[in-house]
Amino acid sequence: MRNVSEDLLRELYDELKAGVSGWKDTLEDREDVLVYALNRVPPHYVATTRGEVMTRMEMLRDQLRADATVALMEGFRFVAAKPRGQVKMTRKG
């Protein structure tokens, strides 16, 4: 079983990172951007190769790709503004 939304986000990350001014592609920052984006796009789980092909075809539609791109760009801005170690986690409740 796998989440093909994650695959798409990883591919788009690699395409977009070069266009982000001053971006330092560290492993931690990459993971933080991907986690940020994964929490903002719907998951698409598949269990078979056929399911993966069908889901990938659906994901190539413009709106899903656009949503993933927006989520990643927001993630780049968020992580650049608050690098790991500077984000304070607060507990609600």
Domain residues of the chain, as ranges? 2-81
Percent of the chain with pLDDT over 70: 83
> Is pLDDT at 44 greater than 90 in this prediction?
no
DSSP element (H, E) containing 3 = strand 2-3
> Is pLDDT at 12 greater than 50 in this prediction?
yes
pLDDT digits (tens, 9 = 90+) for 46-75: 777 777 777 776 766 677 889 999 999 999
How much is the pTM?
0.78
Average pLDDT, the chain: 83
Percent of the chain with pLDDT over 90: 46
* DSSP3 helix / strand / coil % (the chain, rounded to 5): 65, 5, 30
Angle at 58 (CA atoms; ends 57, 61), nearest 5 degrees? 100
